[in-house]
Amino acid sequence: MSQELHNALIRTRWQAWTFIAAFGALLLGFGVSNLVTLSDGGLVKTRANGWDDFTAGKPMRALAEDLRSTPLAEWLGQRQREIGWLAFNDTGPRVQQGCPGWLFLMDELKPHRNAAQNAEERLDIALKLHAALAARGSRLVVALVPDKTRIERDHLCDLPRPAALDTRYDQWVRGLASAGVTVVDLRTALAPVKQSQGAAFDRTDTHWSLAGAEAAASAVAAQLKAMGFAPASPTLIEHHPTDIRPRWGDLVRLAGLDGLPEAWRPAPDQVAGMHFSASAQKATEVSADALFGDAAHQRVALIGTSFSRNAHFADFLAAALASEVGNLARDGGGFAQSMSEFLEQEAQNEAPTPWIVWEMTERVLQEPLQDIDRALLASQVALSARHASLAQTPPAKACQTAAGGQGPLCVEKEGPEVSHARH
């Protein structure tokens, strides 16, 4: 603080003591907040790091990250972001405004060091997983979600998108397709929505709109059907919109503005509710394949990120397939979390999941790899070992009494494969 500023703020003794008391209270508040955090099991990164790499400053960086997440620091940070928005129309470092009313996640626009190498490593992981799953009898379809800043480029206004990112999507699609991995280019699916409705993403949200999610789900379902998916016992899933209500998306929360009165926040999206209802076939219409187990061979697992958990994407996919879809996606799951959890489950199952949709976002492709990304290779090895052990298992025979007392009907099983029923 310069002498001029000091003199302007503190002219009398009571002002000086007021300043000292306020500063002392702030320090005391930080101290109490840190003690509360520590007693509640906080300061996780600091305790996990210990004194490792002390000369490189790693303990202090870990402590700084932990201190930013203490209750008082979070409260002060929230107030700072709110004041920044109200006074300067500032949305903080992670969220930026494009055209009026349009918010964008800056993670999409961030160039990464060793971007090409990171993408190549992820591609190698995806190809090895595809091979391991195919060996078990699973069919994998990758659904690549393009950046919001790519699809809604006309709503960026003065917010620049680096030209280096222009080829990121195409390179990944070509890399998968050239190795025989089925990939759905969702740019094509979202284009008609963009053209007819002016946008395929919500203004205040990272994710696609209802119309965008439905179009993407329809494209993925069409690809599965083209590969031979057909539910043995179709389920009719109908949906219709309900009341339109204001909705503030996740970008308002990431900007730290969700605590403001509604009138002070960025303008909300107007989003319709959606009602889904399902009705299965009558028992008399159930096919023999459904009765004897081939229905299980039409199970669909949806693996991915928050895109699969928003705007009813999974519901739209189930409706388009006329089949239930097991949604294993995780919010903030990135490239690996949902797939990692799925592989752990799959390694414990004798029968493979026959259809797998792996939804992933464009923005994660070039990010630096994390331990969980590389751990997918270990999960792939465990899955391959499980498949090898099942291949050596003698065939099992499962029988049940046929209708009308005609004797047992049996199904022979060899590993994950199931033959047709016979007397």
CA 195, CA 190: separation in Å to the nearest integer?
9
Q: Which of 209, 306, 308, 338 is labelled catalytic?
A: 306
- Residue 310's nearest CA partner among 189, 204, 163 is 204
- Residue 250's nearest CA partner among 94, 98, 109 is 94
Q: Above 50 in pLDDT, residue 331?
A: yes
Tokens of 25: 């209270």
* Burial (0-12, 13-18, 19+ Cβ within 10 Å), 336: buried
Residue-level pLDDT at 79? 79
Catalytic residue check, 306: yes
Counting residues of the chain whose pLDDT is more than 90, the rounded percentage is 61
Q: Which of 130, 155, 207, 387 is labelled catalytic?
A: 207
Helix spans in 227-271 (H): 250-254
Q: Are 145 and 333 in contact (CB under 8 A)?
A: no
The pLDDT tens digits for 75-90 are: 777 777 889 898 888 8
- Residue 156's nearest CA partner among 93, 97, 109, 94 is 97
Residue-level pLDDT at 30? 55
Catalytic residue check, 323: no
184 phi and psi angles, rounded to 5 deg: -100, 120
Q: Would you mind telling me the total number of residues written for the chain in this entry? A: 423
Q: Which of 147, 202, 205, 250 is labelled catalytic?
A: 205
∠ CA 201-205-209, rounded to 5°: 30
- Residue 267 backbone zone (phi > 0: left; psi -120 to 50: alpha; other: beta): beta
Compute CA distances 374 → 114, 177, 198, 303, whole Å: 16, 22, 39, 17
Among 30-39, 85-94, 266-275, 388-397, the least confident range: 30-39
Q: What is the pTM of this model?
A: 0.78
The pLDDT tens digits for 200-220 are: 999 999 999 999 999 999 999
Residue-level pLDDT at 76? 72
CA 419, CA 111: separation in Å to the nearest integer?
51
Q: What is the mean pLDDT of residues 268-292?
A: 69
Counting residues of the chain whose pLDDT is more than 70, the rounded percentage is 73
Residue 5 pLDDT grade (very low, low, confident, very high; cuts 50, 70, 90): low
Tokens of 161: 């998108």
Q: Above 60 in pLDDT, residue 411?
A: no
Domain boundaries, the chain: 3-69, 104-391, 394-423
Average pLDDT over the chain reads: 83
- Residue 237's nearest CA partner among 322, 357, 353 is 322
Distance of CA 31 to the CA centre of its chain: 36
Catalytic residue check, 69: no
The pLDDT tens digits for 23-74 are: 676 666 656 655 665 556 566 666 677 667 666 666 677 666 666 666 767 7
Residue-level pLDDT at 384? 81
Q: What sign does the dihedral 374-379-384-385 (CA atoms) show?
A: positive
Residue-level pLDDT at 54? 67
The pLDDT tens digits for 100-122 are: 999 999 999 999 999 999 999 99
Q: Above 50 in pLDDT, residue 283?
A: no
Other CB atoms within 10 A of residue 352 CB: 24
